[in-house]
Amino acid sequence: MPPLLVCLLLVLLLAVPRPSVAARPGAKPLLFSLRARQVPAGALPRPPSKLRFHHNVSLTVSLAVGTPPQNVTMVLDTGSELSWLLCAPGHQGSAAAAGAARDALFRPRASATCATVPCGSAQCHSRDLPVPSSCDGASRQCRVSLSYADGSTSDGALAIDVFAVGDAPPLRSAFGCMSTAYDSSPDAVATAGLLGMNRGALSFVSQARTRRFSYCISDRDDAGVLLLGHSDLLFLPLNYTPMYQPTLPLPYFDRVAYSVQLLGISVGGKTLPIPASVLAPDHTGAGHTMVDSGTQFTFLLGDAYSALKAEFLKQTRPLLPALNDPSFAFQEAFDTCFRVPAGRPPPSARLPAVTLLFKGAEMVVSGDRLLYKVPGERRGGDGVWCLTFGNADMVPITAYVIGHHHQMNVWVEYDLERGRVGLAPVKCDVASERLGLML
């Protein structure tokens, strides 16, 4: 899960005994405000909910929680289930998080509709939680604990409050009211929560009963867009690849992730000699491929990464001097690195594109998305730039993970109804304009 994820915070939306707002006949589209405006009448045949998000090291969206509503900023994470908020001191304990601003915290005592979730609640015993919940013996409150592959952690109690969703009646929802959070990233962003968007029973997607959502991650900070609900975007020629789901439960397969089947990888048009068995899940479920907006870069398992590294170094030898420092690995997983004179960009337009091949679809990584400048790293008069594909074995991660950096300027649609993921290259600012969003 998220390698550069900042103050991880999570919101659990509880199931409510009514159809989702997006599913109600004649319901108005849900509008989440992040410098967004109402879609003009007739701009879309069935305008879904839309939410603009910020792209930095994390993708963030804005929501309103509580009574009176408090605006919170949350990381959008398709690789997580449990949504959570970092709560201010005085309710669930002493809140602390690296880089968390005081005004970024949720204040449960200031909300007239906030209540704790008891240990006996069904929400406290979801089988989809990565770590089983516990019970506080004194208060009988349900406690949750979360940890991520990058070393980030969060602990707290389950609570219930209302989430404002456009003009619809507020959703009474459960969330993790986290008392402590530690983020291992040095690039912390002042966010107040994490919005879990996978297929688990307690995710935002499941609790809001959203059967389709999509987004476009821009290479500009504020030109991204998130659509909740169904929409036929005729100007986007989406290619679909089926979600992969084994017939039997496997110990290392994340059954609530958005898993697809990776069939091959090419560099500069040359297909890498990677056996099909290396790209497919093994008998334990390890080796599946996840599309994850909560991870910044993309991770490949060791054998596939080694093949990519060798071919990329070979094809870029005339263009870029390799770093040739076996002791250096950016974020402990990115060791295909180069020296670039300080103050100059790398020759991005001349670099060989890396293409991820799926059944029915592909994702092309090219240009500026191939290399990332390592902050503060210098070799004489040169800066250090690394390939944005990491070695999952070095983290370690037991899966292929496609991060949001490689989803930039790609429209990504998650169609749960038909069990598929759609991909289409598009400039996000252009797509936003077509959808009627003010940039």
| Locus of tokens 């170094």 | 313
Strand pairing of 171-182 and 84-86? parallel
221 is an active site residue: no
- Sequence-ordered list of residues with C-beta below 8 angstroms from that of 189, at least 6 positions apart, any chain: 6, 7, 56, 57, 58, 60, 99
Of 292, 335, 415, 429, the catalytic one is 292
Distance CA(235)–CA(96), nearest Å, equals 45
Q: How far is CA 182 from the centre of its chain?
A: 18
SS3 437: coil
Q: In one letter, which amino acid is 342?
A: A
Residue 268, Cβ density class (10 Å: 0-12 exposed, 13-18 middle, ≥19 buried): middle
Distance CA(178)–CA(366), nearest Å, equals 39
Side-chain-facing half-sphere of 389: CA atoms under 13 Å = 26
How many helices (H) and strands (E) in the chain?
A: 4, 28
Residue 360, Cβ density class (10 Å: 0-12 exposed, 13-18 middle, ≥19 buried): middle
Distance CA(173)–CA(252), nearest Å, equals 30
Query: For residue 368, what are the CA distances in angstroms to 40, 115, 125, 219, 350?
Result: 34, 47, 44, 9, 10
User: Which secondary structure element, helix H or strand E, spans residue 276, and what is its range?
Assistant: helix 276-279
- Sequence-ordered list of residues with C-beta below 8 angstroms from that of 304, at least 6 positions apart, any chain: 265, 272, 274, 278, 279, 400
Task: Of 232, 223, 285, give the one whose Cα is nearest residue 257.
Answer: 285
77 is an active site residue: yes
| Residues involved in catalysis | 77, 292
